Each structure stands twice: as structure tokens, then as C-alpha cells.
């Protein structure tokens, strides 16, 4: 049986493919593209934070609030950047359509 950790690690490859395609397309708003890349920072922070929480607190990351919240900040930042990037693109598109 495949563990959730293995699935988490394997999910990185389709996401990297997604990033490659949207970057090459040149059609993704810059701020949104940055947001999609910030999600990689979230992954890079979450993995060591999860290991730290297991070693130091003997708890999963979800049970160590300060550490979990700190890691989730990057997910929140990523989401905000994606939304603002597409919002800006919609506003610019509407202005050009007038």
C-alpha cells in the first residue's frame, strides 16, 4: 500500500509539469504565476516543519499550532497572489474591451 507521504512526494511531479506549461505559455498573469511558484515554498517549508514536529513534539504537524500556522502562511500567500494576479488580468481585459 502506498503511504500518504509517498503520494505527497509523487504529487510534486505533476505540479512541476503544470508550472512548466503555464510558464511556457506566456499567458498566465505574472503575479498569479509567482503565486503558483510560492506554493513550492509552502511544500519546501512544510516537509521540514512536519519532520521537526515529529522529532521535537512527537506530534504531527497539524497538532503543533504555531508550526502549522507558520507553514500555512505560505499557502495563504500563494492563494492571495494567484487571486490578485487573475483579478488584475480581468480588470485589464475589461478596460481593453471598452
Matching residue, cell 503555464: 22
| pLDDT of 8 | 78
Reported pTM: 0.85
| pLDDT of 75 | 96
- Could you tell me if residue 2 is left (phi over 0), alpha (psi between -120 and 50 degrees) or otherwise beta? beta
Q: How would you write the pLDDT of the chain (98 residues) with one tens digit per residue?
A: 778 778 877 888 999 999 999 999 999 999 999 999 999 999 899 989 999 999 999 999 999 999 999 999 999 999 999 999 999 999 999 999 87
Domain ranges of the chain: 37-98
| pLDDT of 5 | 74
What does the longest C-alpha to C-alpha distance in the chain come to? Answer: 59
CA 81/CA 73 separation, integer angstroms: 12
Amino acid at each position: 500500500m502506498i503511504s500518504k507521504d509517498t503520494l505527497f512526494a509523487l504529487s510534486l511531479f505533476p505540479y512541476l509539469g503544470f508550472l512548466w506549461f503555464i510558464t511556457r505559455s506566456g499567458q498566465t498573469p505574472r503575479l498569479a504565476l509567482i503565486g503558483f511558484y510560492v506554493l513550492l515554498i509552502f511544500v519546501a517549508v512544510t516537509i521540514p516543519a512536519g519532520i521537526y514536529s515529529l522529532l521535537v513534539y512527537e506530534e504531527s504537524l497539524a497538532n503543533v499550532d504555531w508550526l502549522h500556522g507558520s507553514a500555512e502562511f505560505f499557502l495563504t500567500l500563494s492563494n492571495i497572489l494567484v487571486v490578485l494576479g487573475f483579478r488584475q488580468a480581468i480588470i485589464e481585459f475589461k478596460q481593453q474591451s471598452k
